Amino acid sequence: MNLFRCIICLSFSALLFSTASAQQKKPESAVKSNAAETKAAEKETKAPAAAAKKEPAKKEMTPEEKENIRKQKEAEREAKLKEADIKKAEWIEKTIKYGINQERKQAVDFIPTVKDSSKKILLEKMLIDLLAKESDVGVMVKALSVAGELKITAAADNIAVQLNNASEDVRIGAVYALKDIGAVQKKDLLSEKLKTADFTVDSNFTTALIETLAEFKAVELFPFAKEKFTNNTTTKSYRLSLLIFLGKIKSPESYDFLLEIFKDANEDIDIRGYAVNSISKLERKDAAPAISEVIREIETYPFEKKKRFYPLYMYSVTSLVKLGDTSAYDKLEDSLRSDNTGVRIQAIKLLKELKDSRAIDILKYKAEFDPSTKVQSEAISALKELGVDYKKVLDEKTGKDTKDKAENSKDNSKENPSDEK
């Protein structure tokens, strides 16, 4: 029994000894751990400080410094653009000299894009020489077009030579190039070409001659134009072109002749329409009573006949507008009620030209409620011409309507809340 007690006492003593040893070791390891953590923290604290010493904070640039940098970058960009422009000019020059015709045509087309003045002068001289001797039709037509676009007046003589070219495309290009550069000194040469033209067969070359001579105000050609118009063998296309010509040259002799054609009930409707349009270009306000009389007559026609004469009706109303006759307003307002979208658009365009403030209310209606968005857009444009920014009004109204709908929806949701589960 005493032996058993001794064993128990020894075991208990051993247990107490091991526990005490453990408690003594634990603080030592904890101390080591804490020391390591402190060391790491010190390292982390020192690291940013070291970095701060290595990389000092950047100094904020002054506005002047920023502006200098911007100017420097802009100068570099301009230098690169200039270099590219010169390279392009050199490519154009070499290609026109040595390239295949398709490439040469493209090169000519690029001449207007060259910015360097000295290079551009050089290329324009090349173009003038090209106009005198080029054999390829495509290149020649392009050269004529570019000469007209650049308005190279020094090219007039070389361009005029091409009026005798075997290719009609080249001859047409030459006529329009002379028109574009304003070569009025070539008017007699163009007139001679027109007088030898065949008016029994449509030709774009002859039409180009008529258009160009109209721009050059060749009033001396009135007798010739009148004779060709009244000739039964002249095509309708040429007759229409000659009517436009008579309106543009503004010859005093043109008025009576045009008015006679317009009032002729046996004449073609399109011919009469072109005649009254040319009368408006002469700015003869004394023509208004005669034009109004034709309009009133058309309004008495039966429906089908009136429909057939509608183009003449609109030409007549348009002419009154161009002559500043406000009596055309009622006619245009009636046209705004037409079921035909095209008619409504045309009427709005004429109202825009007439600038009559009486149109504001009906234009507002059209801008908001017309079934055609094209008509709405045209009405907004016409209102702006009359000093009314109705697009802004519509935008504000649309915004208000959207807000009202949102508020109404919110109120309805409050009045009729959904059942909560």
CA separation for the pair 17, 215 (Å, rounded): 125
How many whole angstroms from its chain centre is CA 139? Answer: 28
Write down the pLDDT at residue 86.
Answer: 95
Write down the pLDDT at residue 394.
Answer: 76
Write down the pLDDT at residue 420.
Answer: 43
What length does the chain have? 421
User: Which parts of the chain register pLDDT below 50?
Assistant: 1-4, 6-10, 12-17, 19-20, 22, 24-27, 29-32, 35, 417-421
Contact 200, 233 (CB under 8 A): yes
Write down the pLDDT at residue 61.
Answer: 84
Per-domain residue ranges of the chain: 82-182, 184-249
Write down the pLDDT at residue 351.
Answer: 87
Sequence-distant (6+) residues with CB within 8 A of 379 are 348, 363, 364, 366, 367, 370, 390
Write down the pLDDT at residue 395.
Answer: 76
Whole-number CA gyration radius for the chain: 44
Exposed e or buried b per residue across 142-167, where buried means at least 16 C-beta atoms within 10 angstroms of its C-beta: bbbbbbbebebeebbebbbebbebee
